[in-house]
Amino acid sequence: MGPTIDKGLTDTHFLLKSGARLSFGLTLRSETRQHSSIVAYRFDYRTENTVHRFDLNKDRNQNPLKEPRGHFHAGSDNNRVPTPSLAPIEILDILFFAIEPEYKN
């Protein structure tokens, strides 16, 4: 849903009440007819001033200290914090209930 690389607002973004926009994508591999596994994902949450993005790259980077396979961009495209592989529902939980200000008390 939405662009893979966010270069500005499009009609395909998921828009939140706070004014933030969310785009995301999942790459799955079919293991059996009833089971698949996550190969890669990107969840990109942006406001006017900041970006929060969860990435799981398909392949390891040649420099994993600079670009870990699983990482979180904390406030900027340039900041990368290593993360374990998260389930999509875990990422949405973090985005909607920890980061998204509209849902905070």
Distance, in Å, from the CA atom of 79 to the CA atom of 19, rounded to the nearest integer, reads 23
Q: How much is the average pLDDT of 76-89? A: 91
Instruction: Check: CB of residue 21 under 8 Å from CB of residue 2.
Output: yes
Q: How much is the average pLDDT of 79-93? A: 93
Q: Given this model, what pLDDT does residue 40 score?
A: 95
Amino acid at 67: E
What residue spans of 1-105 are helical by DSSP H?
88-94
**pLDDT tens column, 89-105:** 999 999 999 998 766 65
Q: Which residue has the higher pLDDT, 6 or 86?
A: 86
Mean pLDDT taken over the chain: 87
Within the chain, what is the greatest distance between any pair of CA atoms? Answer: 43
Q: Are strands 14-15 and 36-46 parallel, antiparallel or unpaired?
A: unpaired
Distance, in Å, from the CA atom of 16 to the CA atom of 43, rounded to the nearest integer, reads 14
Q: Which residue has the higher pLDDT, 78 or 39?
A: 39
Q: How much is the average pLDDT of 63-74? A: 86
Q: Given this model, what pLDDT does residue 83 score?
A: 94
